[in-house]
Amino acid sequence: MSKSNCRFCDAPLKHTFVDLGMSPLCQTHITSEQLNHMEPFYPLHTYVCDHCLLVQLQEYVSPQEIFTEYAYFSSYVDALLRNASNYTDLMVERFKLNAQSQVVEVASNDGYLLQYFLKKGIPVLGVEPAVNVSQVAIEKGIPVVNKFFGRQTATELAAERGQADLLLGNNVLAHVPDINDFVGGLKILLKPTGVITMEFPHLMQLMQDNLFDTVYHEHFSYLSCLVVEKIFAAHGLTLFDVDEIPIHGGSLRIYARHTEDASKPVSDRVAAFIEREKAFGLTQLETYFTFTEKVKATKRQLLQFLITVKEKGKTIAGYGAPGKGNTLLNYCGIRTDFLDYTVDRNPYKQGKFTPGTHIPIYSPDKIQETKPDYLLILPWNVKDEIMEQMSFIRDWGGQFVVPLPEVKVYS
């Protein structure tokens, strides 16, 4: 069901942030048997709340439809593994975690992060609704509860397994339609002196770098530090620190505690960072209204490049079938008339087709077989990793293309 009110403050949603038209769910890669079936498309229309300034998509699809079986496996992205390993070292050192601690990750995916705590002998628990990806974590020896997280799940876990010393969620806060239930659950599951960390793509970075392809139905909210501070405060949680991290094109890692926990003073970085967001204009509606024209200009630029290349008889293949790539392909109308195929390291996606645009997805071995002139990198956030893996395309004069923030060709 579509909801026309803000998911945090319940004010009516009246102002468009960006409208990317109609699009299918970005992780519903389809089989050859489904190619001639009707495919559901939903509005990809984001709003900014004029009361609390939360940027958000309306909820057209339930989380159960999106996340019960999920095609995103974090372990196939080396940059995420490095971030997870570095994060683990930092948390263990900063908060003195040990064998008596309890680390709980919400949206633990395939155990890509918790495995590093496990190696250090620290008890862990994953909470993950997608059974198919959590099975991989279980095979690594990580205990996983297959449930959606909120107040009810948090109450059950606190009673059955105890509260968390470290309660974390990477790239999940944006994925929850009922953000009040989710953050309320964090409050319940956190020990009195425990720490919450959440990582999420930073709205300011999205706007600054024109990263419109990170808008898709799995992302219900687009978050800034100043809005997250309001949401957490409404549930008795205080942000006491914030870090900028490069993952996903520019993310924030916020640190939170119970408001009544005086053992962790609030760092000056929190106020300084919110001031930066205010200086950028995130407290003024007019700033949000400028985004649409930048998006349209980028679409025209990318299509112009692809048309020019194809008119010269050149071949173009894609690398990756990420959620952001499917937003880009559908919004720009890029199908096999421009992109012969795409490849992905994730075997779960191989042999299927991209949603909406029906571009075939192969193993990366296909690149060596067909020797395309250009390789369009859809997960631009890990372009360095991909360009290193695929460096052999230079042997036949192949070049890399990164679509955002603007079209750029790398020889």
List Cα–Cα distances, 149 to 145, 188, 273, 283, in angstroms.
10, 11, 29, 30
Model confidence pLDDT, tens digit, residues 87-99? 999 999 999 999 9
Instruction: Assign residue 124 the CATH number of its domain.
Output: 3.40.50.150
pLDDT exceeds 50 at position 133:
yes
pLDDT value at position 377? 98
Model confidence pLDDT, tens digit, residues 110-119? 899 999 999 9
Instruction: Tell me if 49 is assigned to some domain.
Output: no
> Do 276 and 369 fall within a single domain?
no
> Do 346 and 397 fall within a single domain?
yes
> Do 270 and 387 fall within a single domain?
no
Give the bridge partners for 23, in sequence order: 42
What are φ and ψ of residue 381, in 5° steps?
A: -65, -15
Are 108 and 144 a contacting pair, CB within 8 Å?
Answer: yes
Using CA atoms, how far apart are residues 264 and 393, in angstroms rounded to an integer? 51
> Do 171 and 276 fall within a single domain?
yes
Model confidence pLDDT, tens digit, residues 279-295? 999 999 999 999 999 99
> Do 248 and 357 fall within a single domain?
no
pTM over 0.85: yes
Last residue of a domain, one of 237, 269, 284: 284
Instruction: Tell me if 61 is assigned to some domain.
Output: no
Strand order in the sheet with 103-106: 144-145, 124-127, 103-106, 164-170, 190-201, 251-258, 237-245
Instruction: Tell me if 174 is assigned to some domain.
Output: yes
- Provide the 8-state DSSP code for 36: T
Task: Determine the structural domain holding residue 159 and report its residue range.
Answer: 66-284
List Cα–Cα distances, 251 to 198, 214, 310, 331, in angstroms.
10, 12, 35, 24
Q: Which among 124, 121, 126 is positioned nearest to 109, based on CA atoms?
A: 126
pLDDT tier for residue 249 given thresholds of 50, 70 and 90: confident
> Do 165 and 221 fall within a single domain?
yes
Instruction: Tell me if 132 is assigned to some domain.
Output: yes
The alpha-carbon radius of gyration of the chain (Å, integer) is: 21
Using CA atoms, how far apart are residues 111 and 114, in angstroms rounded to an integer? 5
Using CA atoms, how far apart are residues 236 and 319, in angstroms rounded to an integer? 44
What are φ and ψ of residue 372, in 5° steps?
A: -70, 155
Summarize the confidence of residues 30-50 as an average pLDDT: 94
Are 104 and 167 a contacting pair, CB within 8 Å?
Answer: yes
Using CA atoms, how far apart are residues 349 and 72, in angstroms rounded to an integer? 9
> Do 296 and 251 fall within a single domain?
no
pLDDT value at position 1? 38
